Amino acid sequence: MRTWRVGTISMGASLLLLGVFLLLSQMFGLNPFHIMMSWWPAILIVLGIEILVFLFLSKDEKPFLKYDFLSIIFVGILGTAGIGFAILSSIGVMDQVKTMLNQEERTFELPEMTEAINKDVKRLVLNTDRYPITIEGTSGNEVSMFGTYRTQSVGKKGLIENTTDYVSTQKKGDTLYVSVKGLPTNVGPFNHYTTMSATILVPSNLKVEVIGNDNAITMKPRTLMSDWSLDQASNVSLILEKESHVNVTVNRVQELVGQQDDWKVTEEKNSVASEEEGYVEHQSGFKKASLKMGKGIHYINIGNAYTVSLNKLN
């Protein structure tokens, strides 16, 4: 007479159920991820039914259960894996994995921001985020911003739907404050970053103050009719027309790039070392320079930048 060892049927039934589920997924295009999440509780059900059936059919007064430990260990491994999947799904990890596997990197256009400028506004304060930005002067009477951003997304849906998702504007007295917002970024084991490249057009008659965040900034004032200033940027690219009447000053800049003969360096601090309580501190050299084009009517002041490059348009 053959001995019935509890666990043998459970292992066979578990493999059979898994095979059926995977076959159905191939035939009907079902999601294998959902199948793996839903089939594993059947293992415990089959194992419990097998024990109850053995006890019910046993003719002994005190039936003694004999287990096929190898099969039960195999079933336990599958069940533990299933429980692990369920726990990870409950805390959102599996959803992130699923989203990450379906993501692809795409470039999207920013919704254009337009802000009309009335006669009361005399000054624009632009607070940039960590993204590169181009500031260009225009003859219009409105401030507008546009560009592109690149991110990982599922399908063709981007992160930004409205202008308020990436920029905010607020008028206070004679000043318009424009702040660029940081784009959404995932953190944790499945983090990814979003990059943005934007251009902001400002009326040439507005006084412009730019607050950088150690990012790359391009300045194209064109026909400048007011003063511009920039503080705290990494790389500054200044593009001027040859007919411009501007006076450019740079302060605390480490390097001047391009057409160096145009610059008049008035101060340069070399690297120094100071020793205090056994600690040696080295400071990089900074440059202070100026440049005048035409009559030098309007001023462009640049401070606290790593490099400043000058380009002249014909």
Residue 174 pLDDT more than 90?
yes
Asked whether 228 and 300 are in contact (CB, 8 A), the reply is yes
% of the chain with per-residue pLDDT over 70: 62
Q: What is the distance between the alpha carbons of residues 94 and 88, in angstroms, rounded to a whole number?
A: 6
Domain match, 207 and 272 both: yes
Residue 214 pLDDT more than 80?
yes
pLDDT confidence of residue 112: 94
Domain match, 132 and 98 both: no
Domain match, 208 and 244 both: yes
Q: How far is CA 311 from the centre of its chain?
A: 31
Domain match, 162 and 58 both: no
Residue 282: inside a domain:
yes
pLDDT confidence of residue 102: 56
Domain match, 115 and 96 both: no
Contacting residues for 71 by C-beta, under 8 A, at least 6 apart: 5, 7, 8, 10, 11
Residue 185 pLDDT more than 80?
no
> Residue 282: pLDDT band by 50, 70, 90 thresholds?
very low
Domain match, 71 and 155 both: no
Domain endpoint, select from 102, 132, 154: 102
Bigger pLDDT: 134 or 182?
A: 134
Amino acid at 38: S
Residue 3: inside a domain:
no
Tell me what the pLDDT averaged over the chain comes to: 78
Bigger pLDDT: 47 or 103?
A: 47
Domain match, 87 and 135 both: no
Residue 122: inside a domain:
yes
Residue 304: inside a domain:
yes
pLDDT mean over 259-271? 69
Domain match, 260 and 300 both: yes
Residue 1: inside a domain:
no
Residue 98 pLDDT more than 70?
no
> Residue 4: pLDDT band by 50, 70, 90 thresholds?
low
Amino acid at 280: V
Bigger pLDDT: 136 or 257?
A: 136
pLDDT confidence of residue 123: 95
Residue 204 pLDDT more than 80?
yes
> What confidence tens digit (pLDDT) does each residue in 6-53 have?
666 666 777 777 777 767 766 776 665 566 656 666 666 777 777 777
Domain match, 90 and 132 both: no
Domain match, 97 and 112 both: no
Query: pTM of the predicted model, to two decimals?
Result: 0.65
Asked whether 113 and 161 are in contact (CB, 8 A), the reply is no
Residue 301 pLDDT more than 70?
yes
B/e letters for 29-66, b = 16+ CB within 10 Å, e = fewer, are: eeeebebbbebbebbbebbeebeeebeeeeeeeeeeee
Residue 157 pLDDT more than 90?
no
> Residue 203: pLDDT band by 50, 70, 90 thresholds?
very high
pLDDT mean over 202-207? 93
How many domains in the chain? 2
> Residue 1: pLDDT band by 50, 70, 90 thresholds?
very low
> Residue 142: pLDDT band by 50, 70, 90 thresholds?
very high
Domain match, 54 and 166 both: no
Residue 139: inside a domain:
yes
Domain endpoint, select from 86, 102, 118: 102
pLDDT confidence of residue 202: 95
Residue 217: inside a domain:
yes
Domain endpoint, select from 102, 125, 143: 102
Closest CA to 39 of 58, 57, 19: 19
User: Mean pLDDT lowest for which of 109-118, 155-164, 206-215, 249-258?
Assistant: 155-164
pLDDT confidence of residue 136: 95
User: Angle at the Cα of 169 (from 168 to 171), degrees rounded to 5?
Assistant: 155
Contacting residues for 299 by C-beta, under 8 A, at least 6 apart: 227, 228, 229, 246, 247, 248, 249
Q: What residues make up the domain containing 17?
A: 8-102
Domain match, 85 and 141 both: no
Q: What is the distance between the alpha carbons of residues 53 and 214, in angstroms, rounded to a whole number?
A: 72
Residue 2: inside a domain:
no
